[in-house]
Amino acid sequence: MTEGKTEGNGRQVPRVPWRKWIKWDLTFLALAAVTAAVLFLVFPDKGQITRHVWWEYFKEMAFILPAVLIIMGLFMVWVDRSVVIKYLGQGSGLKGILISLFLGTLPTGPLYVGFPMAAALLKKGARVANVLVFLCAWAALSIPAELMELRFMGWKFTVARLALTVALIIPMCLAGEFLYHRTGAGKSLRSED
Amino acid sequence: MSYTAIGIDAFALVCLIASLIKSREKTGWALKIAFNAIKRIGPSVLTIIAVIGLIVGFVPPRWIASAIGGDKGILGVLIAALLGAVLFIPGLIAFPLARSLWDMGAGVTAIAAFITTLTMIGFVFLPLEIKELGKKFTLIRNGLSFITAIAIAVLIGLILE
């Protein structure tokens, strides 16, 4: 009875679980907007910093996101699956890891841009470990951030942290791939488009 | 407009022109994929920006400083790592903050844990990462990143202290 409601002609219509029909991304956006409105009302003097950050990040997004997604679209259309499999697929070995590390280090903007790129690589046949390396490098090894770290934290700290990050990311991503294939079959990638 | 943006925009433009010359039809498909992606991730990206602005504007650096500088032991390292994972702070604020913590006598391990989780993990990004790469992938990447960040921090502590 709980699985569906019966329509006029007696046919069972499968009920969509409530978690599916809520548009989560819009819900979160609305929540953020409400939170912002409340905070602005309670602390009117602090709103200025927030609005400044919003504007800066919005500009960054407006200038970078469309370009990156166009590159991703062209990649999906033009680059042959066999090429991705050859350089980043199951048999790509150390070379594949190094290519992923290099691709992730390219100065290509904020982390949120990396996710659709990573999904595109995965869909084209890159192995999970390489996509993990790509994303971790993207997140942890951006050149502008490292220059800033060097300036404030000194070379000893920066070099030690960077070397350890690169050295540990690789075994971590291999372990991640192992876990990915071992744990529940669960839906792992969007299947539309 | 930053150099990064100029570089990426120029690269995209060159690729787009080359693609147009080779095949109009395929370029059309590519643009359709790009457009669908913008529609798909747009709201999540706007949410990320909204939350980052709120964190920077309303979480005073002094709270973070007192939380990280509070405990010298392993608990302090865990707190620092958790804070770094939950918050998103731009480097322009995060590194001076880390430096001042260091000068105030906070442990190197805790500072390294904070910086490493700050860069590798972002709670702000989780909904988008799940949407694009699935729950399993996201959970594994962020979970292992957290463990790795602690390992990196402990090793840095051993090297530098």
Q: What is the pLDDT of residues A129-185, one digit of tens each?
A: 999 999 999 988 888 788 889 999 999 999 999 999 999 999 999 999 999 998 865
From chain A, the residues in CB contact with B33 under 8 A are 69, 72-73, 76-77, 193
Residue A188: per-residue pLDDT: 47
- The minimal CB distance from B47 to the residues A32, A149, A169 is found for A32
Three-class SS state of A6: strand
Nearest to B7 by CA among A108, A74, A148: A108
Tell if the pTM clears 0.95, that is, is over it. no
pLDDT for the residue numbered B63: 82
B154 and chain A: CB distance < 8 Å anywhere?
Answer: no
Residues 45-104, chain B: which have Cβ within 8 Å of A?
Answer: 45-54, 56-58, 90-92, 95-96, 98-99, 102
Residues of B in contact with A47 (CB under 8 A): 57
**Would you give the DSSP letter of residue A91?**
G
- Residue B1: per-residue pLDDT: 65
Tokens of B7: 């570089």
Q: How many CB atoms lie within 10 A of CB B67?
A: 16
CA-based nearest distance B70→chain A, Å: 20
The percent of residues above 70 in pLDDT, for chain A, comes to 88
Percent of chain A with pLDDT over 90: 48
The CA-based diameter of chain B, rounded to the nearest angstrom, is 62
- Does residue A10 register a pLDDT over 60? no
In angstroms, the separation between the Cα of residue B50 and the nearest Cα of chain A is 6
In this structure, are residues B132 and A122 in contact, taking their beta carbons and an 8 Å threshold? Answer: no
pLDDT at A108: 73
Is the pLDDT at A14 greater than 80? The verdict is no
What integer pLDDT is reported at residue A192 of this predicted model? 38
pLDDT surpassing 80 at residue A38: yes
Distance, CA of B84 to CA of A115 (rounded, Å): 20
**In terms of C-beta density within 10 A (0-12 exposed, 13-18 middle, 19 or more buried), how is residue B103 classed?**
exposed
Mean pLDDT of A5-11: 53
Given a cut of 80, is residue A19 above it in pLDDT?
no
Task: State the average pLDDT for chain A.
Answer: 85
Burial class (CB in 10 A: 0-12, 13-18, 19+), A106: middle
Are B129 and A122 within 8 A, CB to CB? no
Largest CA distance in chain A: 75
Residue B107 has pLDDT above 90, yes or no: no
Across A10-49, b (16+ Cβ under 10 Å) vs e yields: eeeeeeeeeeeeeeebeebbeebeeebeebbeeeeeebee
What does the pLDDT average to over B5-25? 92
CB A81 within 8 A of CB A117: no
Local structure of A4: helix, strand or coil: strand
Among candidates B91, B134, B140 on the partner chain, residue whose Cβ is nearest the Cβ of A179:
B140
Q: Show residues of chain B in contact with A122, CB under 8 Å.
A: 133
For A160, the closest chain B residue by CA position comes to B156
- Computed over every residue of chain B, the mean pLDDT equals 89
Asked if the Cβ–Cβ distance from B43 to A72 is below 8 Å, we say: no
Residue A159's CB is within 10 A of a number of other CB atoms, namely 13
